[in-house]
Amino acid sequence: MAKAQPITGLDAQAPTARNVRVILRQRLDDMYSYAPYIDNPDNIQDLHDLRIATKRVRYTLELFEEFLPTASKGYAEELARLQDELGALHDSEVMLVLLRQLLQPGNAEKDAHKAVETPADPTATLLSPEMARTILHPAHASALSTKERQGLLAFLRRQEQRREQSYALFRQHWQESMDSSYLGNISFLSLQRQEGKTGDFHMMTSFPTEELHWWQSPEPTTEELSTSGGLLVEDWPHARQVERLANKLFSATQPLHRLDETQQRLLARAAFLHNAGMLVEVRRHHKHSYRLIKETPLPGFTEQERHEIACIARYHRRALPSTLHEEFAQLDQAARKRVSALSALVRIADALDFNHDGRVLHLFTLDEQCNKEIWTIALQVRRLADLDLEMEHAYAKADLFEKAFKHKLRLVVQE
């Protein structure tokens, strides 16, 4: 069994919710460290260790449910599904090892020792010493009749097919989980609002923002590198904040764009990678972001979706989408509409983190102040922080918002 990494950064004097996030972050990193092994079904031990790591994340969510947003329950249920699928895969592998060893005539005792003592064998840890010595005892193999051996061979073939089906089911579910971003959403539980029993919303940010050390980390997590196809950005905390704000803007403007979760996935990836081009050149970094995203395979996205993500990132600043631009002209009418709407949200999200310090904690629609001409969004900010520059740049970049949604944007800072 893979050992869990020790938890560091816990503070006995800090609120429990803060320590829960530290634990969850470490458990997630443990789980995502096995992501590189998922695409190869022969990585038997690594897939088994992934099951254990997944279980630890699930148990963390369940044990500390009262300190996390209500969405954590759904995430725990999805992790339980992955855990069950990996368990079925592991059971099939154990059965295959037993059958193959049992069907080797005259070598059962030798193979029994090999199955439990050979470290180089990827299946070695699948059999306990007691199981191997009991089931693979020489008397069992030597007692097999021709008919029994033929029956076991047929059973072996069916078990091999079942193992392939189990792996395919797990692989598909993992990919769907990545596509829907639910695994990524677990990482941002500590930045989500929490619904209290009375229906009021309580910010998870009642603790000092400085304690979000993992969110402010200048280095990417294993998960972030995996979902970004290895692309780097110049400011990881800013990338996380822009993605978070873009997702909140998506929800706050749902009545205007009427897009679904599939399109939100495109928004989240583009928001996170919008500044990838900064590592090439500052002045035209939006164009370099387009090229880098376009050329980099992103897990869970088709080539067409990657093209749209690249376009969204390209239009996070400067010129508005135009058919005079080759990359935009290549899109069909529906895709152009999507790209324009989602680019409008990234432009605002980027502006609201102009100082790159995450001072906007939360935003939501003020329904009573929205009408056919104006869309009003309330902003909640960190204590003692002002939004003068953020507001100035948000309004300067609201041109695409007004063009795409046929509404003027109004931002209101709430105490």
Q: Which of 317, 264, 267, 247 is nearest to 289 (CA)?
A: 317
Closest by CA position to 335, among listed 308, 316, 303? 308
Gap between the Cα atoms of 251 and 274, Å rounded = 20
How many Å apart are CA 56 and CA 221, to the nearest integer?
A: 18
- Sign of the Cα torsion 117, 122, 127, 132 reads negative
Three-class DSSP category at 399: helix
| CB of 217 closer than 8 Å to CB of 28 | no
394 and 279 in a common domain: yes
Place of tokens 């792996």: 167
Percent of the chain with pLDDT over 70: 80
Tokens linked to 313 = 């990132």
47: containing domain: 16-103+144-186
Domain-ending residue, one of 132, 158, 186: 186
CA dist 160 to 89, 97, 153, 157, Å? Answer: 11, 10, 11, 5
Q: Which residue has the higher pLDDT, 202 or 127?
A: 127
Residues 171, 240: one domain?
A: no
- Region 12-24: what's the mean pLDDT? 79
Measured from the Cβ of residue 209, the count of other Cβ atoms closer than 10 Å reads 16
In this structure, the answer to whether residues 236 and 360 fall within a common structural domain is yes
Contacts of the segment 72-77: beta carbons below 8 A, 24+ positions apart: 72/186, 72/189, 74/182, 75/182, 75/185, 75/186, 75/189
- Give Cα 44 to chain centroid, integer Å: 23
Q: Give yes or no: residues 181 and 237 share one domain.
A: no
Contact 245, 353 (CB under 8 A): yes
239/180 same-domain check:
no
Is 21 within the bounds of a domain? yes
- My answer on whether 71 and 164 are in the same domain is yes
For residue 199, the model assigns a pLDDT of: 31
Taking the C-alpha atoms of residue 138 and residue 126, their distance in angstroms, rounded to an integer, is: 20
Dihedral sign for Cα 398, 399, 402, 403, please.
negative
Other CB atoms within 10 A of residue 236 CB: 18
Answer yes or no: is pLDDT of 370 > 80.
yes
Mean pLDDT computed over every residue of the chain: 82
Strand partners, 363: 379
Reference 34, options 21, 22, 44; nearest CA is 44
Residue 236 lies in a domain: yes
Specify whether 58 is located in the same domain as 178.
yes
Q: Which of 186, 205, 239 is the last residue of a domain?
A: 186
Closest CA to 231 of 138, 324, 296: 296
Q: Are residues 239 and 372 in the same domain?
A: yes
Same domain for 155 and 59: yes
What letter does residue 118 receive in the DSSP assignment? Answer: -
Query: What is the rounded CA–CA span in Å between residue 120 and residue 58?
Result: 31
Quote the CA–CA distance of 90 and 303 in Å, as a whole number: 33
Residue 11 domain-assigned? no
Q: Tell whether the model's pLDDT for residue 393 goes beyond 80.
A: yes
Helices (H), 326-367: 326-329, 333-351
pLDDT value, residue 139: 55
In tens, the pLDDT along 313-329 reads 999 999 999 999 999 99
The H or E element spanning position 363 is strand 360-365
Q: Do 236 and 381 fall into the same domain?
A: yes
Tell me how far apart the 2 most distant CA atoms of the chain are, in Å. Answer: 85
Dump pLDDT digits (tens) for 92-120: 888 888 888 777 755 444 444 444 444 44
Domain boundary among 136, 159, 186: 186
The answer to the question of residue 362 being in a domain is: yes
Cα separation of 300 and 243, whole Å?
Answer: 17
Q: What is the pTM of this model?
A: 0.55
Q: For the domain that residue 28 is a member of, what is the CATH number?
A: 1.40.20.10
Identify the residue with better confidence: 32 or 62.
62
Tell whether the model's pLDDT for residue 405 goes beyond 90. yes
| Tokens describing residue 71 | 């969405």
pLDDT at 207 over 90: no
In a domain, 69, yes or no: yes
Token pair for 167: 């792996």
Question: Could you read off the pLDDT of 239-255 as tens digits, one per residue?
Answer: 999 999 999 999 999 99
Is 114 among the domain residues?
no
- In this structure, is residue 233 part of a structural domain? yes
What is the predicted pLDDT for the residue at 118?
Answer: 43
CATH of the domain at 296: 1.10.3210.10
Q: Is residue 108 situated within a structural domain?
A: no
390 and 269 both lie in a single domain: yes
- Quick check: 79 pLDDT over 80? yes
Whether 318 and 369 share a structural domain: yes
- Crossing angle of the two packed helices 333-351 and 236-252, in degrees rounded to 10: 120
Could you give the number of structural domains in the chain?
A: 2
- Average pLDDT on 51-76 reads 84
